[in-house]
Amino acid sequence: MYSGNARGHVKTVAILGTGSDVGKSLIVSGICRLLSRKGLRVAPFKAQNMALNSFVTLDGGEIGRAQALQAQACGIEPTVDMNPILLKPESDSRSQVVVKGKVYEALDASAYFDRKETLFKVIRDCYTRLASEYECVVVEGAGSAAEINLRDRDMVNWSVVELTSASVVLVADIDRGGVFAQIIGTLDLLAPHERERVFGVIVNKFRGDRRLFEDGVRILEERTGLPVLGVVPFLRDLRLDQEDSFDLTRSRSIRFKSDFINVAVVLLPRMSNFTDFNVLDAEKDVVLRFAVLPGDLREADVVIIPGSKNTLEDLDYLITAGFSEVLESHVQRGGELVGICAGYQMLGKEITDPKGLERGGTLKGLCFLDVVTELDTPKICRQVRAASLLHGVEQHAPIQGYEIHMGRTIRGNANPCFQIDASEILADNRMGDEGAVSEDGLVWGTSIHGLFDQAGFRRSWLNRARARKGLWPISLHESELVRSVLQAELDRWADHLDQHVNMDVIYSVLINR
């Protein structure tokens, strides 16, 4: 598949895991932040990512949000080279394959692996470009480092380690239990030449008294011959994007409050880009929870239907699970209803799929907005800037976000809710209206992700909701403080990692290689 390595003079470390969701992405973010603080030009790299939450780069490419966060930790602009291949599951057996930011094909696992040679060349080329631009690259693996049944088809773990000549840190999750089996078992399953590349272990998500695990550290070091570089305590209330998971138990246990803006996000089975709402959760006057059952929408001031990777299936779910009736009652009593991307399409009259991109056919929508959608190619993936046309929301408060969707939504007699004012990559180079809003202004939808990230729009929109409840407005300054949360949280996480991991070992491996 390849010969030699593509490392050149770049220094590379790879963070591999004993399994999925052990914390590799955040460990990479923290290391990137610490290296950047030392004045090094550092970039993240994950050859292949599987995620429903994605980010749009400045040139209109789609990558995993984890790599976008890691780039922010480095203080650099995210690019498609940082995540050459993104897999977005459409069903249990098929994924949409995004290569260098653009839709490649929808493939099952067998067909995907048949294209291994072609895809790995893309991976090599992307890494080579990063290696030529940065002093350090921090590689993130995927799943378990010991997927021995997939070794000959691997494109993200040991194949990339060999490509980049990286030294490896193995991360395990003690919170899920079985940490000794995780670490010792993983190392025992590695080939000798793979095992030789591992120079240390990190035990992540520790809870309790660290002193009680001192014997555990000793046992691990004796059994593996490797140093335990750190035992990282679980850091509560860390406000950094989680790639494809959130604390559902915590979300459902959250109680709405009468003097807050209560926001319920419908938990769709194939929900994507749920990170759209993280910033709302950071506002001091918002209570946000995800609605698993129709009854979870009760007492919500605002209900949001989010994006989806399979719009027709999730629309069908809303109808059969009884959400449509509760949504109707919510609107009738004066509640606000918002649709983002696929959620916007569901709020319309119908969605058609003439090319069978999802399941084919036509499905009646929820009929809250006078719009119809036809699923079609090519996929729209671009950054946009716009101004709000929503009544009661300050029009001078601009938004900047991004679109990721298949198909076109055509507005009937409904008014638009945004005016596109500029976009360097707008496909047809024309200004235009976007989204749709009901006559009373309380039901609206848009294809734009990330609009709540804009402090001006977010605060004006929240104050509109506050006015409906008879609450005084809150100053824009309070929302602007939320802007600094991401950078502050990246620093808090990096400080936490620096405190609990022997970073000097990692620095020495990079510097002395």
pLDDT in tens, 293-324: 999 999 999 999 999 989 999 999 999 999 99
Which is catalytic among the residues 32, 136, 330, 449? Answer: 449
Q: How many domains does the chain have?
A: 2
| Residue 100 placed within a domain | no
CATH of the domain at 200: 3.40.50.300
203 & 279 share domain: no
191 & 264 share domain: no
Which is catalytic among the residues 341, 405, 417, 500? Answer: 341
Domain containing 297 equals: 248-484
DSSP designation for 321: T
pTM of the model: 0.79
In this prediction, residue 100 carries a pLDDT of: 95
Q: Is residue 476 predicted with pLDDT exceeding 90?
A: no
235 & 266 share domain: no
HSE-up of 442 (CA within 13 Å, CB side)? 15
- Quick: pLDDT tens for 383-423: 888 889 999 998 766 788 888 888 889 999 999 999 887 54
Return d(Cα 135, Cα 215) in angstroms, integer: 38
Number of CB atoms found within 10 A of residue 416's CB: 18
Return d(Cα 364, Cα 30) in angstroms, integer: 46
Q: Is residue 3 predicted with pLDDT exceeding 60?
A: no
| 340: CB partners within 8 A, 6+ apart | 273, 276, 304, 305, 306, 307, 445, 446, 448, 449
234 & 325 share domain: no
* pLDDT tier, 427 (very low <50, low <70, confident <90, very high otherwise): very low
38 & 142 share domain: yes
CA-to-CA dists, residue 399 to 3, 321, 388, angstroms: 47, 34, 8
In this prediction, residue 332 carries a pLDDT of: 96
Q: What is the mean pLDDT of residues 241-265?
A: 75
| Residue 378 placed within a domain | yes
Return d(Cα 201, Cα 340) in angstroms, integer: 41
3-state secondary structure 227-283: CEEEEEECCCCCCCCCCCCCCHHHHHHCCCCCCCEEEEEECCCCEECHHHHHHHHHC
In this prediction, residue 42 carries a pLDDT of: 96
Q: Is there a catalytic annotation at residue 341?
A: yes
In this prediction, residue 422 carries a pLDDT of: 55
313 & 207 share domain: no
Return d(Cα 180, Cα 37) in angstroms, integer: 33
Q: Is residue 140 predicted with pLDDT exceeding 70?
A: yes
Q: What is the mean pLDDT of residues 154-182?
A: 96
HSE-up of 248 (CA within 13 Å, CB side)? 10
| Residue 6 placed within a domain | no
Q: Read off the tokens for 180.
A: 């000794």
Nearest to 369 by CA among 310, 335, 410: 410
Q: Is residue 1 predicted with pLDDT exceeding 50?
A: no
CATH of the domain at 418: 3.40.50.880
235 & 311 share domain: no
* pLDDT tier, 55 (very low <50, low <70, confident <90, very high otherwise): confident
379 & 427 share domain: yes
Return d(Cα 151, Cα 160) in angstroms, integer: 12
